[in-house]
Chain A
Amino acid sequence: MSKKKYWQSFGELNHTESFQESTKNEFKEELLPLADLDDKGILDAKTPRRDFLKYLGFSTAAAAVAASCEMPVRKAVPYLKRPDDVIPGVANYYASTYVNGGDTISVVVKQRDGRPIKIEGNELSSITKGGTSAQAQASVLDLYDNTRLRYPMQKDGKGFKEVTSFDAFDKMVANSLAVVAGKPVVLLTSTVNSPSTLAIINEFIAKYPGSRHVQYDAVSYSGMLLANEVCYGKRAIPSYHFENAKVIVSLGADFLGTWLNLVEFAGQYAQNRKVTGEKPTLSRHFQFESMMSLTGSNADDRYTHKPSETGSIALALLTKLGMSLAPIKIADEKLLKGIEKAAAELNAHKGEALVVCGSNDANIQMIVNAINEQIGANGKTINWAITSNYKNGSDADVMKLVDDMNAGSIGAVFIQGVNPAYSLPNSKKFKDGLSKVVSVSFNGTMDETTELCKYIIPSHHWLESWGDAEPKTGYYSLLQPVINPLFKTRAYQTSLIKWSSAAGSLINDYETYFKTYWSSKLGSPDMYDKALQDGVVEPATMAIGSGTFNAGKLSDAADGIASIKTGVNEVVLYQKVSVGDGSQANNPWLQELPDPVSKVTWDNYVMMSPAMAKSLLNLDVMNQDGGKQSDYEVHPEKPVVKVTAENGAVVELPVIVLPGLNKDTIAIALGYGRESANKEETAINIGRSANGAGKNAYPLVSFNGTSLYSSMCRVEKTSAMYPLAQTQVHGFTESRPVIYETNLTSYSANPESILEEVTKEREAITIEGSKDFVKDATIYPDYEKPGIKWGMSIDLNTCTGCSACVVACTAENNVSVVGKRQVQRAHEMHWLRIDRYFTGDLENPDVVFQPMLCQHCDNAPCENVCPVAATNHSSEGLNQMTYNRCIGTRYCANNCPYKVRRFNWLDYTGADSFPDNQKPMLDKYMDESVMQMNEDLTRMVLNPDVTVRSRGVIEKCSFCVQRLQESKLDAKKHQDPTLVRNVKTACMQACPTHAISFGNVNDKESDVYKIRHVEQKHRSFYVLEQLHVLPNVSYLAKVRNTDRHIGVEEEHGGEMKKEEKAHA
């Protein structure tokens, strides 16, 4: 057994009593509806017999009623005129583009019987290469959001009234604009990288002289844009080439999570993290940051600091790289050593190194630019020939607009795709200003800003839209509608065209404009059709060029950095990979997606280091003797602290104690705490899932020329407690070894050493003289898999934990949303979860992400305990789950060593025969967000090929059996067995780093066979193989490129020592 200790929580690390108590009860059953039994157990309760008889009587009566019902008469209604390209029951795929603000991902949309139901990455895009993000995966659910506005509206007293026709609406807007004629009209949008839309906006601005277009990003990159303007004379963001970088140093940039485009960067990054050949090379990744970000948790070496020190670190690095600019003293020894080490590596890899920085302070970004010049990144890993257009917002412009609005010098504001009343730190001032102008909102929902506007003309969802995007200069990605608009909405571009075009103009709508624009741009209608079909228009090869660097302002920048004040405590504001900037806050899939690092769902919170928790809250999570900490971790109730930022903004949030944070720094996620002006209306206007989820942290953002996402703060203890739904230890593995890990040097020296132990152990339990572990280490017979044997391989080296797979699985397999209260009781339904393990240094541990799903064991422990054979094995190696046979004993879940079986405790889907099953549960056990998923509109997102499970049955990963069956049918129709060689499961297809492979292991040409038995045979292991459950999912052991000791060899010295981690 690997003696290296991996832990998911402090309780697990220290074996506290209450933690052990809590792990005994996997399903937290004491919290079930029968909780009124006062902990006495069912037999000692006051009225168990009567209750029993009541339930018995009811169920008998109910069964009798159900049995005597006549079969309902069902109708089959065919088309009146079937469209040529639709065959009922067969899915069509259309290329389009996920666009949310500047976020752009080329996708392929699966459309079944006219409904888009699943988003896949577009493999033709050279930027995203078929990868997707959690947000893109979840965006299909936004299309069916019940809070979407259904028709144009105008303000009517306190509420709104419908405007009956678009023409009437156009007239009203024209009249309003006539009143304010002479004053400028401002178009306030998110980053727009659509060339055709920009053209329309320019035409619009030409029509209204003095008007302007202001781009605003809720989480801004204007510091970087400013710095680049100074240094390179171009207000733009270059393209980054992580795939060309042997050394990557990130100063707080979460480039695998939320920085610019995670799909692009994770894909590039993974190229250099793949272990290939006997003597592999890996990129080396240093991360300097204040909190534990997703990117930091993937780093080879990670150092923490206060956010105010980012600039100092950049300066120190620059100094070490041979350019002295009045460095600032850094006290922390560890940090200094880290800087030295990083600088040495950067120096050694000039021309193949890259430094990125997440700060929005222009001065720091300028220093980072200088560093990149020093290491020769410009033109190699940083490409100025092709710039990125993901973010183009300007904080200064927005602030000026707010001032101008208040000063009364603005006539009208048209708002599209942004929600400044929520996301601006000075939103009060914005709201005041908005009341003084003619305000029109194109936003699709009644958000905080839209409800203040005078006119609302909702725009389409992107799945209903025509459009284009230019994520990188010269790289286009097109949108085409995959469903008719569900509601009476109109593309905002059409509105702009109508309001600016001359009377009698031929082009009156965006669709025509778009077609004309692209047909002429591409030359011929055939090219246009091909572009739409491909979804992307790209140059054949990517040009790489450098920018001309201007070092003139660097000393000013250094001075600016020197003036940054450091506080005792500081707060850093970040985004989660799930909820992001908050625009998708009403998406229950994203809300229920556990944060990769903290594993918390449905809320934001204050992340705090153990040291700070000890001094501030007297919460000693490191203490082995239990006491206060035990309760803290086991119970969902967490102490609430009051955080006061430097600008005076106050937010009260519960505390999550996590290792890996700087000890004086706290971190709070943005994007939560959506709230209507009238609190009561939040659930109706903004949505039931967003309602009550966390607190708004945007007011904590400070402004100093650009928005700054960190500040000094005061943290105070309060007496309040607040429950958080954390999935962290719901799938606890009892300290069994589940992960193997080593560093690059020892792997190169002896690749076999990484799995030495498990090999020995395998031999130990095999009958002597036999080498056949599969057959001769068990009393069970070995069943044949004569045709296909499905298998999956997951590379722990390239899995970044981004969780796109989890949402993809949810969407593909109709996985229920259970709501916050049910997650608190460990009732989450995700078929695929990402386990996060800490290891090593307690204050700054290494992190391993391990996607955990049903392992489809050939010797499955779940199968032989099922009393009704509802779960059994197929001849293709699938562990089959038959819902209609399951009676819900949950023996299987108890017997599963991987804890991947999920039980439908409540009627989450409304699939039960009794319609009133859900409502009575609402107040106490079930959240409104569950009901949100059961609306007729929302249910349109369900995959018709997958059963919607009802209450009382177990479910789990099926290896996307519907896809496997489809691939087999396809192979049989085409008489081609190679079509089942490499099949794509939903998780595999969503992965931006291609960490998952799947296919027919019996086929020696399949990817998964090659990985397991040829290319990666030294790294391929099965989790808990020693149990001889014979899983069909293998993992590739993690290899870190660091000189620290990692994994098994650490133990040769004996017991694990905390201080053993040498930073030398």
Chain B
Amino acid sequence: MSRYRKIFNRVLPALFLLVFFSINISSYAADGEALFKANCAACHKPDKDFTGPALQGWKDRVPAGDWIYKWIANSADLRESEPYAKALFAKWNKTQMTAFGSQLKKEDIDAILKYVDDWKPPVAGPTPGGQPQGSDDSLLFGILTLVLALIAFILLQVNSNLRKLSDEKEGVLRTEPVPFYKNKTYLMVGILLLFLVGGYYTINSAIGLGRQQQYQPEQPIFYSHKVHAGTNQISCLYCHGGAQDSKQASIPSVNVCMNCHKAINKYEGPDVLVRENGATVDGTAEIQKLYAYAGWNPTTKTYNSDNNNDGIPDGAKPIEWVKVHNLPDHVYFNHSQHIKVGKQQCQTCHGNIQEMPEVYQFAELSMGWCINCHRETKVDFYDKENGTGNKFYSIYEKFHQDIKNHKLDSVTVEKIGGTECQKCHY
């Protein structure tokens, strides 16, 4: 009995250590990412200049000390007095950076900077689970754990040898020691470790199955949202009108593209179109591709005639876009619910689409991600006194009472049942 207790005494602290480290690592890394996306991603990219400078390598560029914290808290204070800040402001056409003093604490900034430093460009194509998205530190800590485990192992060996020696000295008879690879204690620790580590990675990759954040397939036509929605400021709903009427936002039919492209047959925008892999794209050639799909003759500026009587111009065919945002079959998602009723911005889920030359999946689109938003988002609750808000919610009389009595200050989507199973699964 005592022997087993000893094993536990040895193993448990080690286990705690392992669990502690792993939890710590993941939470730290996730925070930085979330904070970066929420606060910085609109203007900064880790590796590339954007509205603001690329963030990687900041350590080598900025003055040492707490310059960086001051700058992030309020850049206006620095750029008058400090020379580097002055130069930086001038270099970026005097674009003012938002002051984050009240929003970001020092730890938050550390987390963001750490995330930025560790960031690596996403691999194109679907990422089918398997690779956990943890930072490089996991390797470091892994090695550390291994080294510690080795030391512990050696120490245990030394301990047992010493005891053996002292026993011999005192004349206590002991059975022949078992070699360590047959030692039940070691075997058990080994198995437990294997189970824990294996289980951790299995579960993590299983959760990732079917998710494809950052998925950025190559499309049949290099269609740049940055050119259309960003530079040319076309409203999202002009093309994706379904978003306000239907569950599907729907990809525009070719005739919608042709509404404008009958006239616009060349790409003459300010930006060079570049694929994710660095290759430049000839925008005009891409428009020509559209003409082929539409059955449009750019020289005569007419549609091809319909000689085979199928109701469409000869040679025209629909474009087979690669679907970027895929939800599992058992999920019901309705765009109009979110756009028309919830008054959400497209960017909430699709990211800064107006900055994307090629569309990638910005959000995780996992259930946890959906639920989180439903927990936090406030509904446009009807206010009887002022007559504001969505009148439908007038049926929630109890919540009106609670608001009146100051038991509630606002009603979230969750409150009206937004996290119940059959809101999305039926």
Contact (Cβ within 8 A) B416 A787:
yes
User: Which of A961, A973, A1002 makes the CB contact (< 8 A) with B422?
Assistant: A961
Name the CB-closest residue of A to B209. Answer: A67
Does B323 count as interface, using CB distance less than 8 angstroms? Answer: yes
Does A74 count as interface, using CB distance less than 8 angstroms? Answer: yes
Complex Cα distance, B423 from A878, in Å, reads 11
A415 CB, nearest partner CB in chain B, Å? 32
User: Which of B255, B318, B340, B396 makes the CB contact (< 8 A) with A787?
Assistant: B396
Complex Cα distance, B210 from A881, in Å, reads 23
Does B230 count as interface, using CB distance less than 8 angstroms? Answer: no
Q: Which residues of B contact A20 (CB under 8 A)?
A: none
Interface string of A87-119 (1 = CB under 8 A from B): 111100000000000000000000000000000
Does B95 count as interface, using CB distance less than 8 angstroms? Answer: no
Does B217 count as interface, using CB distance less than 8 angstroms? Answer: yes
Contact (Cβ within 8 A) A71 B395:
no
Contact (Cβ within 8 A) B322 A880:
no
Complex Cα distance, B323 from A727, in Å, reads 45
Does B308 count as interface, using CB distance less than 8 angstroms? Answer: no
Complex Cα distance, B256 from A883, in Å, reads 38
Stretch among B23-31, B111-119, B139-147, B246-254 lining the A interface: B246-254
Name the CB-closest residue of B to A975. Answer: B391
Contact (Cβ within 8 A) A977 B395:
yes
Contact (Cβ within 8 A) B341 A969:
yes
User: Which of B217, B256, B395 makes the CB contact (< 8 A) with A788?
Assistant: B395
Complex Cα distance, B361 from A74, in Å, reads 14
Q: Which residues of B contact A82 (CB under 8 A)?
A: 253, 255-256
Number of interchain pairs (Cβ within 8 Å):
159
User: Which of B252, B293, B328, B420 makes the CB contact (< 8 A) with A880?
Assistant: B420
- The interface size bin for chain A is 35 or more
User: Which of A77, A79, A88 makes the CB contact (< 8 A) with B321?
Assistant: A77
Q: A78-B321, A973-B341 are in contact. Are A947 and B329 (CB under 8 A)?
A: yes
Contact (Cβ within 8 A) B320 A977:
no
User: Which of A79, A90, A872 makes the CB contact (< 8 A) with B421?
Assistant: A872
Q: A75-B323, A80-B253 are in contact. Are A88 and B246 (CB under 8 A)?
A: yes
Contact (Cβ within 8 A) A76 B321:
yes
Interface string of B380-397 (1 = CB under 8 A from A): 000000000011111111
Q: Which residues of A contact B425 (CB under 8 A)?
A: 882-884, 947
Name the CB-closest residue of B to A786. Answer: B398
User: Which of A67, A89, A883, A884 makes the CB contact (< 8 A) with B247?
Assistant: A89
Does A976 count as interface, using CB distance less than 8 angstroms? Answer: yes
Interface string of B229-272 (1 = CB under 8 A from A): 00000000000011001111011111110000000000000000
B243 CB, nearest partner CB in chain A, Å? 10
Does A59 count as interface, using CB distance less than 8 angstroms? Answer: no
Q: A75-B323, A882-B422 are in contact. Are A971 and B392 (CB under 8 A)?
A: yes
A790 CB, nearest partner CB in chain B, Å? 11
Does A46 count as interface, using CB distance less than 8 angstroms? Answer: no
Contact (Cβ within 8 A) B336 A969:
yes
A634 CB, nearest partner CB in chain B, Å? 37
Q: Which residues of B contact A784 (CB under 8 A)?
A: 398
A150 CB, nearest partner CB in chain B, Å? 19
User: Which of B316, B398, B426 makes the CB contact (< 8 A) with A962?
Assistant: B426
Q: Which residues of A contact B105 (CB under 8 A)?
A: none
Complex Cα distance, B420 from A788, in Å, reads 14
Contact (Cβ within 8 A) A87 B242:
yes
User: Which of A88, A876, A882, A975 makes the CB contact (< 8 A) with B390?
Assistant: A975
Does B317 count as interface, using CB distance less than 8 angstroms? Answer: yes
B297 CB, nearest partner CB in chain A, Å? 16
Interface string of B332-356 (1 = CB under 8 A from A): 1010110011000000000000000
Does B357 count as interface, using CB distance less than 8 angstroms? Answer: no
Name the CB-closest residue of A to B293. Answer: A80
Does A49 count as interface, using CB distance less than 8 angstroms? Answer: no
Contact (Cβ within 8 A) A958 B253:
no
Does B35 count as interface, using CB distance less than 8 angstroms? Answer: no
Name the CB-closest residue of A to B202. Answer: A67
Q: A89-B250, A875-B420, A884-B328 are in contact. Are A76 and B323 (CB under 8 A)?
A: yes
> Which residues of B195-236 are within 8 A (CB) of A?
205-206, 209-210, 212, 215, 217
Q: Which of B217, B326, B417 has the most CB of A within 10 A?
A: B417
B42 CB, nearest partner CB in chain A, Å? 27
Contact (Cβ within 8 A) B391 A976:
yes
Q: Which residues of A contact B253 (CB under 8 A)?
A: 78-82
Complex Cα distance, B76 from A287, in Å, reads 94
Contact (Cβ within 8 A) A67 B206:
yes
User: Which of A80, A969, A977 makes the CB contact (< 8 A) with B316?
Assistant: A80
Does B134 count as interface, using CB distance less than 8 angstroms? Answer: no
Contact (Cβ within 8 A) B341 A972:
yes
Interface string of A58-79 (1 = CB under 8 A from B): 0000000001111101111111
Does A885 count as interface, using CB distance less than 8 angstroms? Answer: yes
Q: Which residues of A contact B318 (CB under 8 A)?
A: 77-80
Name the CB-closest residue of A to B126. Answer: A71
Contact (Cβ within 8 A) B209 A874:
no
Does B6 count as interface, using CB distance less than 8 angstroms? Answer: no
Interface string of B394-426 (1 = CB under 8 A from A): 111111000000000000000011001111011
Does B132 count as interface, using CB distance less than 8 angstroms? Answer: no
Q: Which residues of A contact B341 (CB under 8 A)?
A: 969, 972-973
Q: Which of B312, B328, B330, B391 has the most CB of A within 10 A?
A: B330
Q: A883-B330, A884-B328 are in contact. Are A786 and B337 (CB under 8 A)?
A: no
Q: Which residues of A contact B398 (CB under 8 A)?
A: 784, 786
Q: Which residues of B contact A1000 (CB under 8 A)?
A: 395
Contact (Cβ within 8 A) B426 A961:
yes
A783 CB, nearest partner CB in chain B, Å? 12
Q: A88-B248, A878-B422, A947-B425 are in contact. Are A75 and B392 (CB under 8 A)?
A: no
B-contacting residues of A (Cβ < 8 Å)? 67-71, 73-82, 87-90, 784, 786-788, 872, 874-876, 878, 880-885, 945-948, 958, 961-962, 965, 968-969, 971-977, 980, 1000, 1002-1003
Known contacts A79-B255, A947-B329, then 17 further A-B pairs from the complex at CB < 8 Å, ordered by chain A residue? A67-B206, A68-B128, A71-B126, A71-B326, A75-B321, A78-B252, A80-B255, A87-B245, A88-B248, A89-B242, A875-B417, A882-B425, A965-B332, A971-B392, A972-B337, A972-B390, A1002-B395
Residue pairs across A and B with Cβ atoms less than 8 A apart, 28 shown, are A67-B206, A71-B210, A71-B212, A71-B215, A74-B322, A76-B251, A78-B251, A79-B253, A79-B318, A80-B318, A87-B241, A87-B242, A87-B245, A90-B246, A786-B398, A787-B395, A880-B422, A882-B422, A946-B426, A947-B329, A947-B426, A965-B426, A968-B392, A969-B337, A971-B392, A972-B337, A975-B391, A975-B392
List 9 tightest A-B contacts by C-beta distance, closest first: A89-B246, A79-B253, A975-B391, A89-B248, A880-B422, A82-B253, A76-B323, A74-B323, A882-B421
